[in-house]
Amino acid sequence: MSQKEIIKILVADDEKPIRDGCERVLGGKGFEVRTAENGRIALDILSKEDVSIILLDLKMPIMSGEEVLEKAGEKYPHIPIIIITGHGTVDTAVECMKKGAYDFITKPFQIEEFLATINRAAEKRKLEQIARRLQEENIKNFYDLNLEKSRLKTIINYLPDGVFVTNRNLEVVLHNPALMQLLEISKEIENPVPAKDIIKDESLLNTLKQIHCAEFSEKGSFSQELQAEKKFLRSISVPVLDPDTSVVGAVTVLENITAFKQLDQMKSDFVNMVAHELRSPLVAIRQLNTVILEGLAGPLGDKQREFIDRGTKKIDALLKLINDLLDIAKIEAGKYVQHRVPTDLGGIIEDLITLLEPRAEKQGIDLTFSYENLKPIQSDPKNMEEIFNNLISNAINYSPEGGKVSVMAQGLGEYMEIKVMDTGIGISPEELPKIFDKFYRVKNPKTREVMGTGLGLAIVKGVVDTHHGTIDVESDVGKGTTFRILLPVITESE
């Protein structure tokens, strides 16, 4: 029995044979024994030592067992007290048990019965100690929990962004004042409350429902924009997981992005205005240059023709940039797609291949087109021509001499799949997520040799999104790039 497990027993009896016998028997069983010949000595030992069990004789000089029971019961209520009594005082022992004694043993002792009573008392003391320790831990944990809850509430209440927490029943169980201000809710709300009573945006409510799906929890978070009255808000929702990684709720943060939206609109309006103001004089200058180049203003020398031709090419580059800026502005305003009709993508791509073949041959690039199971889509033909012209031109521009550019189109159920593949310089993994951003160009010495605005792929992405399609890209540096577009085909209902 280790030191920590030793049970200390105090034997208080005026008969020395009883004290010695108890010490011998209990010591042999691994108990530590202290003895006292009267009640006063017993109380003195209790005040100095940590005793686990008391064996108390009722009839002692100086201070009786009844007095010790009363005083010890008040000061040390957690210590089991076993009364030692003769046959003639059993009734008194029973009365003592009513006053708080744990049990009694009659003299002379039966060893087995004596040890059984001691073991029961020791087990009781042990269980009480465990229960007391657990209670202390629970109290501490409860205090820590309340402290953390208070800290969390303080942090959330002073956050400038709106925050709310929902459970698996789609009830709001925690929210902050900023949320009420953003949603312009003036009445007091007691948690829990159904989320639909606070959140009126159906797309956000659907997101909160989807969060409880296993496949969503693997994505980490979901961001979306919504409008509340005249405010524009961005929400970011993340699942709350229990220790078994099961989704038990969600935390959503709402950020007011109205000012950013207004700034973005001002920027778009400014770019739109500047582009329009620049395009008119540039078109006029180009027309004048064309008149001069055609000799309508008089004969030109070779050097003059060369300079004017260079200037015309620079004007064309500026006009392309202006047109791209206007296209981006239209896409962001939702006004880019003008007229959707049943469209044969095969015919559009074949015409583009015919148009771009001379440039590909000049650069020593093999340009091919293959198709299978073509189906018409509902689209603006001009938009389709622009995005595939952009992708195929990029593939040619960024492929080395002797390279290959392949365009493949095929019907896949409810979608048309179009792939534009090249054997060019490729795109590094860290740059792939940025290539559809406006004005972004891949940082590669070879890309500097190709003139560009960084708007082409942004326009392609905008057009594909507007037509309810998807575009993704796979690339291997030094080996090539594949753009894959999926566009919905015309269904019977259409």
Domain residue ranges of the chain, discontinuous segments joined by +: 3-133, 160-256, 261-333, 341-488
Neighbours of 179 (CB within 10 A): 23
Contact present, 424 and 480 (Cβ < 8 Å): yes
Name residue 430's amino acid: E
Q: Which residues 6+ apart lie within 8 Å of 182 measured at CB?
A: 162, 228, 231, 233, 254, 256
Q: Is the peptide bond before 192 cis (omega within 30 degrees of 0)?
A: yes
Angle between the N-to-C axes of helices 65-75 and 39-48, in degrees from 0 to 180, rounded to the nearest 10: 20
> What CATH code is assigned to 341-488?
3.30.565.10
> Strands of 480-488's sheet, edge to edge?
366-372, 404-412, 415-422, 480-488, 470-476
> What CATH code is assigned to 160-256?
3.30.450.20
Phi–psi pair at 64, nearest 5 degrees: -75, 170
298 SS3 class: coil
List, in sequence order, the alpha helices (H) in 342-479: 345-362, 381-397, 456-466
> What CATH code is assigned to 3-133?
3.40.50.2300
Tell me the pLDDT of the chain (494 aa) as tens digits.
444 567 899 999 988 988 899 999 998 888 899 999 998 999 999 999 989 999 998 888 888 888 888 898 889 888 899 988 875 567 777 788 888 888 888 888 888 888 988 888 888 888 888 888 888 888 887 777 777 777 877 887 778 888 888 888 888 888 888 888 888 888 888 878 888 888 888 888 888 888 877 555 455 678 888 887 788 888 888 888 877 777 888 888 988 888 888 877 777 777 777 777 777 788 888 888 888 888 777 888 888 888 888 888 888 878 877 777 777 776 666 655 567 788 888 899 999 999 999 989 998 999 999 988 888 888 888 888 888 998 998 899 888 888 899 999 998 888 999 999 999 888 888 888 888 887 766 666 555 555 556 777 888 888 888 888 899 999 988 889 999 999 998 876 55
